[in-house]
Amino acid sequence: MPIIDVAALKKVYPIAIKEPGLKGTLNHFFRRQYRNVEAVRQVSFQIEPGEVVGFLGPNGAGKTTTLKMLTGLIHPTSGVVKVAGQVPFRRAPDFLQQITLVMGQKQQLLWDLPAMDSLRINGAIYGLSDRTFRDRVSELATMLDIADKLKQPVRKLSLGERMKAEMLAALIHQPKVLFLDEPTLGLDVNAQVAVREFLKEYNRRYEATILLTSHYMADITALCDRVLLIYQGELIYDGGLDGLLNRFAPYREVKVELAQDADVGKLAQYGEVETLAGCTASLIVQRADLTETVSRMLADLPVQDLTVTDPPIEEVIGRVFQAGAVA
């Protein structure tokens, strides 16, 4: 059975309308009017136990609203959602023991106290015995390489160290389902890599299910075999990264190095010239025309080197959102 099961999930927010001026203020007070904003529209998907799934979309697409419904923070307007066999908004203790939510822009650790003090509070909340608490803190701190920082005040930790400590606090109860909203937000490259490697190891060791949102495509490509794309509240894609390229990027990138300087006009007959610098050029070629185009280039041009690649995944997703593509 899927550990996350979502069917026709919808969230509508009533937004008050207020006209400017005194009259608008009085009307707003006595005869308030509203307009409905659909943050999430009829979203359906299933996630199996142990999967790591990327959840992508532009700002305001409905990602965080969906995560909040999946974790029980807000009530859906309509639709069905079950996580670990539970209805999230009922917030049953058994449900809360099985999930966690990490938001890169929020913190739960007390700023002026050592991280260990906050961890002890979390351990008490989840009813962990002293031995279980010590064992889990030791294991997670070792995996995160932060054991020597837990007795320092949180305000003295670097951003990367604070994120690791936040991750430890969120996982102290060993949840089965991790909802991660921008967990590497603002981190430097080394800290991002460390968090990714930790999540890989946590998933492997505990077979935890992870639903991850991130604006860093390196997070998605490093961790996720499957992605969900949401745009204007609607799910527009559910599948693998390779399938995403095949569906939304019907072209390939051809990089060619010539024996002499290239001419834009001549290269344009083979495809869209993306970049040109001396003898080196990059062209966009439709997938259906790729074989024939490459053959003509090799026959007509003084080619010294030629490579064919897929476009960068972030470029593909950017084009999808700009075009507003739908399933």
Report percent pLDDT > 70 for the chain.
97
Structural contact between residues 80 and 9, judged by C-beta atoms closer than 8 angstroms: yes
- Checking if the pLDDT of 45 tops 80, the result is yes
Report percent pLDDT > 90 for the chain.
64
- Checking if the pLDDT of 18 tops 90, the result is no
Rounded to an integer, the average pLDDT of 193-214 is 94
Rounded to an integer, the average pLDDT of 23-43 is 89
Structural contact between residues 55 and 213, judged by C-beta atoms closer than 8 angstroms: yes
Rounded to an integer, the average pLDDT of 268-292 is 90
Architecture of the structural domain at 250-309: 2-Layer Sandwich (3.30)
Structural contact between residues 47 and 225, judged by C-beta atoms closer than 8 angstroms: no
Residue 7: pLDDT band with limits 50, 70, 90: very high
Structural contact between residues 130 and 136, judged by C-beta atoms closer than 8 angstroms: no
**CA dist., res. 189 & res. 144, Å (int):** 16
Closest Cα to residue 181, out of 87, 107, 82? 107
52-56 β-sheet, strand order? 99-103, 177-181, 209-213, 52-56, 226-231, 234-240
- Residue 288 has what pLDDT? 85
Contacts of 41 (CB under 8 A, 6+ apart): 10, 62, 232, 233, 234
Residue 156: pLDDT band with limits 50, 70, 90: very high
Q: Residue 297: helix, strand or coil by DSSP?
A: helix
Q: Residue 224: helix, strand or coil by DSSP?
A: coil
Q: What CATH topology corresponds to 4-245?
A: Rossmann fold (3.40.50)
- Checking if the pLDDT of 325 tops 60, the result is no
pLDDT tens for 162-172 read 999 999 999 99
- Residue 24 has what pLDDT? 85
Within the chain, all domains assigned CATH 3.40.50.300 are found at: 4-245
- Residue 92 has what pLDDT? 94
Q: Residue 282: helix, strand or coil by DSSP?
A: strand
Ramachandran bin of 282, using left for φ above 0, alpha for ψ from -120 to 50, beta for the remaining angles: beta
- Position of tokens 């974790």? 71
Rounded to an integer, the average pLDDT of 233-242 is 89
- Position of tokens 């080197």? 305
- Residue 262 has what pLDDT? 80
pLDDT tens for 241-271 read 778 777 777 788 899 999 988 888 889 999 9
Structural contact between residues 210 and 223, judged by C-beta atoms closer than 8 angstroms: yes
Rounded to an integer, the average pLDDT of 136-155 is 94
- Residue 323 has what pLDDT? 60
- Residue 324 has what pLDDT? 57
- Residue 287 has what pLDDT? 83
Rounded to an integer, the average pLDDT of 79-91 is 95
30 against 3, higher pLDDT: 3
Within the chain, all domains assigned CATH 3.30.70.980 are found at: 250-309
266 against 140, higher pLDDT: 140
Q: Give the per-residue SS3 of 189-204.
A: HHHHHHHHHHHHHHHH
The chain-wide mean pLDDT, for the chain, equals 90
- Considering the entire predicted model, what is its pTM? 0.80
